[in-house]
Structure 1
Amino acid sequence: MTTLQDCRARDAADPLRPLRDLFVLPDGVTYLDGNSLGPLPRAAAARIAKAVEHEWGQGLIRSWNDAGWFAMPQRVGDRIGSWIGARAGEVVATDTTSANLYKVLSAALSIAAQDRPGHRVVLSERSNFPTDLYIAQALCAERDCELRLVEAEELPAALGDRVAVLLLTHVNYRTGAMHDMAALTRAAHEGGALAIWDLAHSAGAVPVDLHAAQADFAIGCGYKYLNGGPGCPAFLWVHPKHADRFSQPLAGWWGHAVPFEFTPEYRPAPGVARYLCGTQPVLSMVGLDCGLDALDASLPHGGMQALRAKSLALTDLFIGLVEQRCGDAGLRLVTPREHADRGSQVCLAREEGAYAIMQALIARGVIGDFRAPDILRFGFTPLYVGFEDTWNAVEHLRQVFESDEWRQARFQQRHAVT
């Protein structure tokens, strides 16, 4: 039986433990929601202030050149690319995940229309993140294509039946289940389809190698495990064999081959740079750059291999402690136990009161989140979450049930963001 002393001993022996100090983490808070919004890197406030006061305040427009603002989408994109198996010059940090999906799905459908005219189906998982499905619905209506949704286990059998594009989120946002990217991409290609991967819950959390998996396109989020700050730029990757085939539909001036020629006719930039659109949000990009500094600080300690090992150890511990200490609370594990099938989160379902239970935990300083209709979701970011944190989270969960405090009226009121 695992004890609190066991958890403290594991923290003391953890080589990643010092990285916790790179983040602002309020006293009395156990933060298990970095899969939704990463915490503030300690260096970010000063770095953003410098960008505001010196680069913007003193440098003014000169800072597009002097401070390197203009090149930030590619420079920051390359930093992200090193964590997802991309090569230099293949990733740009830009726009939002939703906008980037619109770009790459449009390009993928254009390629399919040229190479396989009879393939007009976008295949996805029924429980894919809703924004991905909404974007796909809109594009399918625009292109007279079909969006077909199936359960995860039905995906391999559904490929090949006029499927043009397989669109999946690598780690499911509701369950934490992780797809086999290489196997499903291979199956998609064998059926004549292209594969687009949403890495929102993968980048910085689990090993990803886009080239090894032979993926076609990928998008992802900058403010979850990359700790870039609320609303910071997302990112986009295109396999080099596709990059110059089509222009994406949001043909803005930043995606022009030479933006400051100011020609009336659009001429797309070579490679992934054509997937840029309008002027980039510099201050948010600076925050993302700081988040990547914190992630890169893990490299001397083993990088992704060490982060993944600790993530699995934390999630194993959490699952075991919930079963050990909250076994009669009516909680059902929906996250896979198998390491190869699990991201960096643990999701528990409960038929009654899941939202209120999470609100009671948040009031106690244990911050996770709720996903409708019945999911309590806990994210484990090994850069700053420890083994004692995990013990404390389960202890508070146990107390919430034993005291019945989740039944209080104040915890029943729904907020706009859950």
Structure 2
Amino acid sequence: MGRQAADPTYPRRPRPGARRADPGRPGAPEPGGVLAGGGQPADRRRAERGADRRGAGGEGGPVSRVRVVKFGGSSFAGPEHFHTVAAHLAGRVRDGEKLVVVTSGMPGATEELRRLATELHPEVSSPALLGLLPLADTVGAALLRIALERAGLRAELLPPHHIGLASSPAGGQAAALTGVDPVYLHGHLAAADALVLPGGQAADAHQRPTWLGKNSSDLSAVAVAAALRLPGCDIHSDVEGVYDADPRQVPAARLLPTLAYADVVTMARAGAKVLHSGAVELAARHGVTVTCRLNTGDFRVGSVIGPTGDPAYAVVADARSVVLTGDDPDAVEAVLAAEGLATLRVGGAVVATGSFADVPALLAARGRACTVTGQKLLTVLRAGVPEYELVPATELAVVARSRHAALTTVAAVA
């Protein structure tokens, strides 16, 4: 098992002309419009107030603060879960908040749509899939809107072309976020207690719906918070925060209460099941503090991600990683980047991190021969600086526990 120390700004830069990896492509040009910090009409500037300022209330309602909250797919495992989330959000509205709620689809909904599509046509095209898969998030958002109405809230569901998120044309693959125009959001917030948005959806210059890639609901939430000039947003999931290892692999894993943006990006790109790396990069550029919270029970806060945090000591054991060797690693990286997959280099190998895709089949379809080694990526962060190891897949959990035990001792001394 070889190790490789690296600069925490990994992954490896793509060769010139190749797009950066990651579903939201954090290497894409800085989003334009509001996210680029351009000037705005005076009436829009007046509407853009932080969560700690007084915003416009609905007709006949109290003046409210605005907060962006995101709920992942695990929040909506069944009808009762929609009601649980709706009751929590109704309580926040009663406490004086207006909410922009970003949602994902119900667990397994996206993959069920993919299964149905491939059953109809085993070689379904990427554009056809991209027109179908986002509907899982739309259904989740629509169901939450219904639950919010039952809870007594004035809730409105916004379709992609009314969210204000602008993207590049899809072109058969996940689109890149290019900007956010908050004018739609301000208009709808004036008459609603809660706006519900399907995560990961945008529209191109011709108002055609686009998809920002798998797990891009985080990106939507941060982009909306930045566009509304809010100081932070809440990300709810089935764990209350970021741990120093995956608790399912390492029972002794510990919650990290405060983290710096850069460390979370490092962990995400190494395949950790934390936040979308592009979302965290966007939060860093616009000073949006990300608060990680539980999606049920007391909805407690677990981790806060911001400009500074405690030095990160963590182990990331990426069971979804695919380790590849071949004659032309640059070409392999370019193909995977074009498909929106994150990659990094460890020695002479290309590693697709956190991958849900059939990477060998994808490369074969593009005429790129490669060998899958059967190894998995394990990353150890010491004060935020990563070291990579390639370990046999069958030993990943055992090695992760061993590295975590050693790291805990080092962190205690530090």
Higher helix content, 1 or 2? 1
Higher strand content, 1 or 2? 2
Instruction: Determine if the TM-score, normalized by the shorter chain, exceeds 0.5.
Output: no
Compare CA radii of gyration and give the structure with the larger one: 1
Q: What is the TM-score normalised by the length of structure 1?
A: 0.30
Q: What is the TM-score normalised by the length of structure 2?
A: 0.30
